[in-house]
Amino acid sequence: MVYLTRKAEFSASHYYHNPEFTPEENRRVFGKCNNPNGHGHNYTLEVTVKGAVDPKSGFVVDLKQLKDVMSREVLDALDHRFLNKEVPEFLTKIPTTENLAITIWQRLAPKLDQAQLHRVRLYETPDLFVDFYGEG
Protein backbone atom coordinates (compact mmCIF):
# COMPACT_ATOMS: atom_id res chain seq x y z
CA MET A 1 0.00 0.00 0.00
CA VAL A 2 1.35 3.40 -1.01
CA TYR A 3 -0.13 6.79 -0.16
CA LEU A 4 -0.08 9.64 -2.63
CA THR A 5 -1.02 13.25 -1.86
CA ARG A 6 -1.94 15.94 -4.31
CA LYS A 7 -2.30 19.60 -3.32
CA ALA A 8 -4.53 22.29 -4.75
CA GLU A 9 -5.56 25.78 -3.76
CA PHE A 10 -8.80 27.67 -4.01
CA SER A 11 -10.15 30.93 -2.67
CA ALA A 12 -13.69 31.41 -1.47
CA SER A 13 -15.82 33.48 0.84
CA HIS A 14 -18.25 32.37 3.50
CA TYR A 15 -19.91 33.27 6.79
CA TYR A 16 -21.18 31.19 9.67
CA HIS A 17 -24.85 31.45 10.57
CA ASN A 18 -27.42 29.04 11.94
CA PRO A 19 -31.01 30.17 11.21
CA GLU A 20 -32.16 28.21 14.29
CA PHE A 21 -30.08 30.47 16.55
CA THR A 22 -31.07 33.96 17.66
CA PRO A 23 -28.89 36.83 16.35
CA GLU A 24 -27.25 36.96 19.80
CA GLU A 25 -26.50 33.21 19.78
CA ASN A 26 -25.07 33.42 16.27
CA ARG A 27 -22.82 36.28 17.31
CA ARG A 28 -21.73 34.51 20.50
CA VAL A 29 -21.01 31.11 18.88
CA PHE A 30 -19.49 32.28 15.61
CA GLY A 31 -17.95 35.64 16.57
CA LYS A 32 -16.75 37.70 13.65
CA CYS A 33 -17.25 34.70 11.32
CA ASN A 34 -20.96 35.61 11.64
CA ASN A 35 -20.59 38.93 9.75
CA PRO A 36 -23.38 38.55 7.15
CA ASN A 37 -21.51 39.93 4.16
CA GLY A 38 -18.92 37.21 4.49
CA HIS A 39 -15.15 37.06 4.44
CA GLY A 40 -12.67 34.93 2.52
CA HIS A 41 -9.76 32.54 2.73
CA ASN A 42 -7.12 31.03 0.53
CA TYR A 43 -7.72 27.34 1.15
CA THR A 44 -5.09 24.68 0.60
CA LEU A 45 -6.44 21.23 -0.08
CA GLU A 46 -4.46 18.02 0.26
CA VAL A 47 -6.08 14.90 -1.12
CA THR A 48 -4.43 11.62 -0.12
CA VAL A 49 -5.26 8.41 -1.95
CA LYS A 50 -3.94 4.93 -1.26
CA GLY A 51 -3.53 1.78 -3.23
CA ALA A 52 -1.17 -0.83 -4.55
CA VAL A 53 1.44 0.27 -7.05
CA ASP A 54 0.38 -0.95 -10.48
CA PRO A 55 3.20 -3.20 -11.74
CA LYS A 56 2.78 -2.00 -15.33
CA SER A 57 2.65 1.77 -14.77
CA GLY A 58 4.40 2.09 -11.39
CA PHE A 59 1.51 4.37 -10.34
CA VAL A 60 -0.85 4.27 -7.39
CA VAL A 61 -3.14 6.44 -9.44
CA ASP A 62 -2.90 8.30 -12.70
CA LEU A 63 -2.05 11.80 -11.44
CA LYS A 64 -3.73 13.44 -14.37
CA GLN A 65 -6.96 11.63 -13.63
CA LEU A 66 -6.75 12.65 -9.95
CA LYS A 67 -6.05 16.24 -10.93
CA ASP A 68 -8.96 16.27 -13.36
CA VAL A 69 -11.37 14.89 -10.75
CA MET A 70 -10.18 17.42 -8.16
CA SER A 71 -10.54 20.26 -10.66
CA ARG A 72 -13.97 19.23 -11.85
CA GLU A 73 -15.56 18.15 -8.58
CA VAL A 74 -13.96 20.58 -6.16
CA LEU A 75 -12.12 23.55 -7.64
CA ASP A 76 -14.63 24.40 -10.37
CA ALA A 77 -17.40 24.32 -7.79
CA LEU A 78 -15.68 26.17 -4.93
CA ASP A 79 -12.99 28.48 -6.33
CA HIS A 80 -13.94 32.17 -6.24
CA ARG A 81 -17.44 31.38 -4.93
CA PHE A 82 -19.46 32.61 -1.98
CA LEU A 83 -19.94 29.17 -0.44
CA ASN A 84 -23.18 29.96 1.44
CA LYS A 85 -24.93 31.18 -1.69
CA GLU A 86 -23.38 29.30 -4.60
CA VAL A 87 -22.59 25.77 -3.43
CA PRO A 88 -25.67 23.55 -2.99
CA GLU A 89 -24.38 21.69 0.11
CA PHE A 90 -24.07 24.96 2.01
CA LEU A 91 -27.58 26.17 1.40
CA THR A 92 -28.43 23.94 4.38
CA LYS A 93 -25.07 23.29 6.07
CA ILE A 94 -22.73 25.82 7.66
CA PRO A 95 -19.55 26.09 5.55
CA THR A 96 -17.09 25.49 8.39
CA THR A 97 -13.75 23.94 7.52
CA GLU A 98 -15.06 20.68 9.02
CA ASN A 99 -18.11 20.63 6.74
CA LEU A 100 -16.02 21.71 3.75
CA ALA A 101 -13.63 18.78 4.28
CA ILE A 102 -16.58 16.37 4.53
CA THR A 103 -18.22 17.86 1.42
CA ILE A 104 -14.98 17.59 -0.55
CA TRP A 105 -14.65 13.94 0.51
CA GLN A 106 -18.25 13.23 -0.56
CA ARG A 107 -17.65 14.87 -3.93
CA LEU A 108 -14.38 13.02 -4.59
CA ALA A 109 -14.92 9.53 -3.18
CA PRO A 110 -17.45 8.26 -5.76
CA LYS A 111 -15.41 9.65 -8.66
CA LEU A 112 -12.09 8.00 -7.89
CA ASP A 113 -11.94 4.61 -9.49
CA GLN A 114 -8.24 3.76 -9.52
CA ALA A 115 -7.27 4.44 -5.93
CA GLN A 116 -9.08 4.69 -2.65
CA LEU A 117 -9.52 8.02 -0.92
CA HIS A 118 -7.63 7.99 2.38
CA ARG A 119 -7.74 11.52 3.72
CA VAL A 120 -8.92 15.00 2.88
CA ARG A 121 -6.87 17.68 4.64
CA LEU A 122 -8.07 21.24 4.23
CA TYR A 123 -6.14 24.29 5.47
CA GLU A 124 -8.28 27.35 6.03
CA THR A 125 -5.17 29.30 7.05
CA PRO A 126 -1.60 28.11 7.68
CA ASP A 127 -2.59 27.90 11.37
CA LEU A 128 -5.72 25.79 11.02
CA PHE A 129 -6.54 22.59 9.20
CA VAL A 130 -9.11 19.80 9.33
CA ASP A 131 -8.59 16.13 8.47
CA PHE A 132 -11.44 13.87 7.38
CA TYR A 133 -10.97 10.13 6.89
CA GLY A 134 -14.49 9.21 5.81
CA GLU A 135 -17.42 7.97 7.81
CA GLY A 136 -15.88 4.69 8.93
Partner 1 sequence: MKAHLTRRYMFSASHRLHSDEMSEEENRATYGKCNNPYGHGHNYMLEVTVSGPVDDQTGMVCNLADLDGFVHNQIVERYDHQNLNLLSEFAENVPTTENLCIAIYDIVKRGFHKAHLERVRIEETMMNSFEYAGDL
Catalytic residue numbers, as ranges: 33, 80, 124
Considering only residues 63 to 102 of the shown chain, the ones binding partner 1 according to CB under 8 A are 93-99, 101-102
Residue pair 118/49 in contact (Cβ under 8 Å)? The answer is yes
Quote the least distance from Cβ 128 to partner 1, whole Å. 5
59's CB contacts (< 8 A; 6+ apart) are: 53, 114
Q: For residues 37 and 33, what is the distance between their CA atoms, to the nearest angstrom?
A: 10
Q: For residues 40 and 83, what is the distance between their CA atoms, to the nearest angstrom?
A: 10
For partner 1, give the closer residue by CB, 7 or 72.
7
For partner 1, give the closer residue by CB, 14 or 81.
14
Quote the least distance from Cβ 130 to partner 1, whole Å. 5
20 binds partner 1 (CB under 8 A): yes
19 binds partner 1 (CB under 8 A): no
Helical ranges in 1-136 per DSSP H: 23-30, 63-70, 76-78, 83-86, 97-108
For partner 1, give the closer residue by CB, 13 or 114.
13
